[in-house]
Structure 1
Amino acid sequence: MFDYSPKGADKNKLFYWDMEGDFTPEVTGEYAFQESCLGTALVFIDGELLIDDKTNQVLSLASIGASSQAQTKTVHMEAGKTYKIRVEYGSGKTFTLTTNDLVSSNGGGFLTIGYNLQRTENDLINEAIEAAKSVEKVVLCIGTSYDYESEGFDRKSMDLPGNQDRLVSEVLKANKNTIIINQSGTPVTLPFIDTTPAFIQAWFNGMESGNAITDILYGTVNPSGKLPLTFPRKIQDNPAYLTFKSNNGHVIYGEDVFTGWNWLMKTWLPL
């Protein structure tokens, strides 16, 4: 709400609002609620304070500007029971922490809140296996997110986050008619690529990504795009693998004149 200033707010965009609603879970279990904001926020469930992001805020980075560090609290919920959820929010001007970020100091701030039913990776993979067995064809989406690759930092690994390699392997065993759709901004290790009948590299294409992928899957559009970079099978195939990090601030190009695609052509397609 950086450019939001409701009627009645003062010139500094100081305002408060409450949001409330009902939540009825379909599954009994432990639910983790998470909140972060630029401003201040209190989260209540059935009138009891669950998250206090007002009195003891901790500074964190956000995709735009600064924010409070995300707080997570877990609560047990019963399937079919309705819970009252209320959020009390104060605009960005109520932020209790000091930041030099210009975006953070201008506008109405922001609030993000969500929940997640706590399940183990084994639970999720087993659900995927059973689902794959019950259908004729499978479309399996994998990939990364801005938590793993973004501007301003290097990835710690080229591997897919979490246990996605095992997920893909188990789904392929359960149903050989599986299309893998990978959404990432850079190459990832694909140990399953040789046994995958169809693979789509979908990148990060924003709000219309789902429609674009659907057009390709149903043949409305021919997937004729060219890769703007090379996808190595593993990180050891990269020309800069042995000399990736700097030496006291000095970058060493150990591949010499065979930088980038030149090295790949020399090693993969020797003349």
Structure 2
Amino acid sequence: MPEPKPLSWSLKQKLLAKLREDFVRHGRSEALPELLEGSLADLAKTARSEPLRLLVREGIAGRKLKTTLKAWLKEMPDVHRSAWLVDKLTHAAGLVWAEPAADVPGPIRLPRAERTRIEQRLQELWETSIDRHDSDPEPEEYADVLEEEIERIGRKHEVFAQRALGKRFSHPSAHGEITLLELLNREQIDSAESVIRFLEKALEIEWTQPKGAGTAIVEMARPERPVTAYAPTTLYAAGDRIQHPRFGLGVVVSAEPGRLRARFDDGERVLAMGRGP
């Protein structure tokens, strides 16, 4: 019989975090077994983990998972409960976890397309918040999107997942070390770009371009108009060419009160426009 394929280290960290949250919120509530089973099911779905799906669907030793959890919780210790439960699940269900990848000091290099994807998700959140509430999203909302993107990227880049989930940070407002997402909630976050800068600094990320990138011709531009330096206080129209200090040469695709959408070599971005000084 072939050896089971090891589950990723980052998935184990996500499982520990979910169980820890359930224990903190619900203590020894009678509903806890069902809540824990639900958390496992949610994680199996979002992580696309077939072994966890099988565990939730078929249970352990012929018993439903919820029934097994209820029996286990009677002997649960008062400390390190999430780690204890993961160990129980690991041995009873025959799960195998991969060892964490070595986190070599220095920057993590990720494709620039991942940056564009994260920024697009964050900008969509910003646009929705502006349209619905006429206000910027809360840091917690940015953190929710970032958590999903960390999970997505981590499935392809284990070293990134290890650093994002395992690294701890200090902050003047916190007692002891805190996680990346806890740190984000304490930072001055007011835009998609500020979240990206936070992520780059906290995890030492460098974005790499595929060969030939950066040479794409910006379409829809009006060549008779000069290239102007982008400024959030200036008004622009579709077809204007702008030079952004970070994104380089771009063309305005559309403009409306307070914001514009511009296309750069690595994708489109929403930028402020006509804002007061």
Does the TM-score normalized on the shorter chain lie above 0.5?
Answer: no
TM-score range, shorter chain: under 0.3
Normalising by structure 2, report the TM-score.
0.22
Q: Which has the higher strand share?
A: 1
